[in-house]
Structure 1
């Protein structure tokens, strides 16, 4: 160490020689840098001395091995919908990261208000001066009343649902999400919806878009206005209540409401509303219909309500959530069985049968073991809302959509076999169907059929094929056991396809459709 530099350093900084030597060692003997380092970090000399650099010989004897980038194993990005088979960035990795972020925000999915630790101190609430405006305020022209009320409801909802984030996105303008060409506006609105969380990184932006609520199909008005619109437009009310802390609700946004076929069905036949469980705008619905809202096992909650009577006619409650194809088929099955037409009779829910209580003293050992096993399986599970539509299927065939005047007439004392429809009888029963090998959606389409077994059957047809071809396939090769030779109806969106046998598949609207197959049992 240069003693002159040590003396100069001590004369300028009034340090001890040991401290001066420490600073000079840190700067490789550069006096100016050592002095600057002293004034920037005066306590640095008190830290333990840094170990000396190893010699070249020592480095040669003990080399440090650094992995090459070429040795690292990366999977290419999955193409299309193909799942990744490794634990590299892919669908599973995105979901794992989403679950981790959600647990950090909501405390592990337990429904906590935030992800702050027990030792974390909340920042003080800032002072603010505001003008209080309640829902239903009328301070402006008549044309602006609805907009003002919607703004007030939105502000109240934002205050109650807490800080915006990836899994708690606040409502934004619906027309922005329909405009997919303007990427900058879409990104800006996504940042607004997430409170800026989507701008932290490209990964966060991707997750925010992946789990974004379906703003483009959501109705933002009040419950009463939704009912009025449903009556005028003859559309059912479709309601989704979510708990942002439950990941199945986030999967609903990712898998169900992003599906193009489901979105098209919802736009055409439903008025869709989605609320968080603590959103004030959904409190009226939850008080009337969602009685199990305090149970985490009841989420996600989806229901269909008749806008005319306010009757809840179908419910999906709790996990597991259906697959997109299955949910799409269930929506079409509902639309085939129910109608808002005043001349149609909807299925009637039968009274739920009361289960007879068994006397434990008279039960066999096997019955007691089965009861104990069932009780242990149900232990710890919260209540769910029952599906009222299930009660309409609990008895023998109850057909909906029969005209009112036909229902009122009494059946004959001795039922006779109805004569076969001449149009149906003229369709060939010896023309098996061969699916086209072309998979171009501009030329072919897949049609889903739901019959007595309940399991959907999918077949591919050309868009130019007549609907008669569908009848010929079922008559020639009946895919349901025990129904060979039986007469049947094909129902789609409330219409009997027998009236459209000469139309093409595309003209009849069967592209990607779900068709109900109803066999007529003439006994």
Structure 2
């Protein structure tokens, strides 16, 4: 049953999962990529992000879908099974034939006369008639259906788990616009960590799957940072891209929430170990302590001389 095609309901669920990850695509596009990969969600997503429209241009639509082929095969099997099934003749016809055969032979003794008697006793005898539906149960078919249901449940669970791998880290994200995220980070004396994402770049989904889902990374972010994730094609995303002059996504920015200054930046896929190593210097001090440790700017020598000249002229 491992190679059985998905049912129409399962296909709809696979299309929905594809569209949830590859946001902005149409159901028709999702169906095409899933058909090209025999309805394997992860393979369809990888094909979409790697080859894109080129994969669709080189694909040839099948003459008959897998579902139609399965239905046709099932119908043919049912016809063959019906042809081999034994159909007993009606009881009346069978009884007439037996009596007629007995009458044609003079040597055959006549049937014994029917005797009807009444039985008496203290305990009545109860005779139960076996259930006809139980007598003709198809245990093989029931086992096959049970295995099919189990596989459907396993397929549905696997599809849900796969889609959940690429979902954004909602448990880490700050819910609100960029300005409020800065205010929240400043009030809590935490650095602001920003992740700009694109629905067209598979590395954005890899960040969700491999980096933000990493337990060490998640724990570090909860303790020391305010995390804000946004898509580049939204209003807030375009504002951040313009302000910090971003030319490629996905991108990760470490922002000083007090001044808005970019302290550190990464582009593309950043793996957990590398990100944790780069964030280590910012775990010792928060933004406020960082500013307090900075040396105060001294006035320039020219400004000091000008001030002294002005004071001298004042007393002349």
TM-score by structure 2 length?
0.45
Q: Which has the higher contact order (CA 8 A, sep 6+)?
A: 2
Greater share of residues in helix: 2
TM-score, normalization by structure 1: 0.28
Higher-Rg structure is 2
